[in-house]
Amino acid sequence: MSKGKAISLHGDQWHEWILKNLARGVNPSSMFDQMVGGVWRRDDACEALNEGLQRVESPRPWGVELPRIDHPPRVENGAGKPVDVLCEMEDPHAIVMDGVLSEEECQGLISYAYEKGLNRSGVVDRESGERISHDSRTSSSVMFSRAETALIDRIENRLAALTNWPVERGEGLQLLQYEPGQEYRPHYDWFDLENHGARKHTRSAGQRVATTVIYLQPAPIGGATRFPKRGIEVNPKKGGAVFFANTTIRGEPDRSTMHAGTPVEEGTKIVVTYWQRERDFQRQ
Ligand SMILES: O=C(O)CCC(=O)C(=O)O
């Protein structure tokens, strides 16, 4: 879409509605909700409202900047294949993609993880902020540091370009392996600032604003990523991924992002998770 054209994307009626309401001083964030509840994609609605604010000569910030994926993404994987968007939804704002990593890249990450060794996965304790084992998360995992290998560096830079978000704001990739019966029960990735332990994790880099789960090896049966509040389940192919924004456009934790890794029924599922923060991230 060329600059200045988002406002006309859905015809004259919407165009006039946007200008009329902004000129009357209506709050752009409540207009945003109506637009996305109608025909608008979230990123187009933001752009159209910003264009509208320019036109009514009242440009002002009204929402937070968040990672966002271009439509279509202008990013290629390690085999030179463009990343493909298969499906996009709102509430939560989630995008399912194909070909984020090539087969070789998937295999390279798995081999490197096995060299390092995997341990039982943990969750963040609400009070202490320490990582603890919990029945709700039974996978094994390994964390990588930023740019730990040339392959990891390349993948992080690709994910940063794909989501239009600085690579410095990404946490290190985390590889998770689930055997039959293993799962990650419904949870949120955003930190609940009511909890002392969670506050410790947001002090320097802020909230986790987006998550991308990349499938390196889907399980033949079971092991989908499920959004139980919406009854939606996704199970991308090898190299595919699901991205979702953890906060609303107002920067509040988005409760519709509750998600789970459903139990694997057969085979082994291996994914990497990439979390992105509001500000630059340094591992504590
Ligand atoms: O394994 C999955 O499908 C989801 C992983 C997940 O929920 C997470 O890492 O936060």
Per-residue pLDDT 10s for the chain (284 aa) are 555 689 999 999 999 999 999 999 999 999 999 999 889 999 999 999 999 999 998 888 898 999 999 989 999 999 999 999 999 998 899 999 999 999 999 999 999 999 999 999 988 888 888 888 888 999 999 999 999 999 999 999 999 999 999 999 999 999 999 999 999 999 999 999 888 888 888 999 999 999 999 999 999 999 999 999 999 999 999 999 999 999 999 999 999 999 999 999 999 999 999 999 999 998 75
Question: Looking at residue 279, what is its pLDDT?
Answer: 96
CA of 97 to the centre of ligand 1 (A): 16
**H-assigned helices in the chain:** 12-23, 28-37, 42-55, 103-116, 150-163, 196-202
CA of 103 to the centre of ligand 1 (A): 20
Residue 271 CB less than 6 A away from ligand 1: yes
CA of 213 to the centre of ligand 1 (A): 6
Atom index in ligand 1 nearest the CA of residue 224 equals 3
Residue 273 CB less than 6 A away from ligand 1: yes
Question: Looking at residue 171, what is its pLDDT?
Answer: 96
Residue 67 lies inside a defined structural domain of this protein = no
Residue 234 lies inside a defined structural domain of this protein = yes
Atom index in ligand 1 nearest the CA of residue 271 equals 1
Atom index in ligand 1 nearest the CA of residue 262 equals 3
CA of 261 to the centre of ligand 1 (A): 5
Question: Looking at residue 174, what is its pLDDT?
Answer: 97
245 contacts 165 by C-beta, under 8 angstroms: no
> Any long-range contacts for 53-61 (C-beta under 8 Å, 24+ apart)?
53/22, 53/28, 55/7, 55/19, 55/22, 56/19, 56/22, 56/23, 58/22
Residue 193 lies inside a defined structural domain of this protein = yes
Give the residue from 55, 75, 94 where a domain finishes.
Answer: 55
Same domain, 137 and 265: yes
Same domain, 47 and 90: no
Residue 205 CB less than 6 A away from ligand 1: no
Residue 213 CB less than 6 A away from ligand 1: yes
Beta strands of the chain (E only): which ranges? 84-89, 94-98, 119-120, 123-124, 131-132, 140-143, 174-178, 184-187, 208-217, 221-222, 225-227, 232-234, 241-245, 259-261, 264-266, 269-277
Structure tokens belonging to residue 59: 């440009």
Same domain, 100 and 157: yes
Same domain, 16 and 89: no
Show the domain range for 51.
6-55
Same domain, 42 and 134: no
Q: What is the pLDDT of residues 162-219, one digit of tens each?
A: 999 999 999 999 999 999 999 999 999 999 988 888 888 899 999 999 999 999 999 9
Residue 66 lies inside a defined structural domain of this protein = no
Same domain, 33 and 140: no
Residue 189 CB less than 6 A away from ligand 1: yes
CA of 71 to the centre of ligand 1 (A): 24
> Among 131, 138, 184, which residue has the most ligand 1 atoms within 8 Å of its CB, making it the best to mutate?
184
> Among 271, 274, 276, which residue has the most ligand 1 atoms within 8 Å of its CB, making it the best to mutate?
271
Residue 208: partners with Cβ closer than 8 Å, 6 or more residues away: 171, 189, 190, 191, 246, 275, 276, 277
Question: Looking at residue 198, what is its pLDDT?
Answer: 85
Domain count, the chain: 2
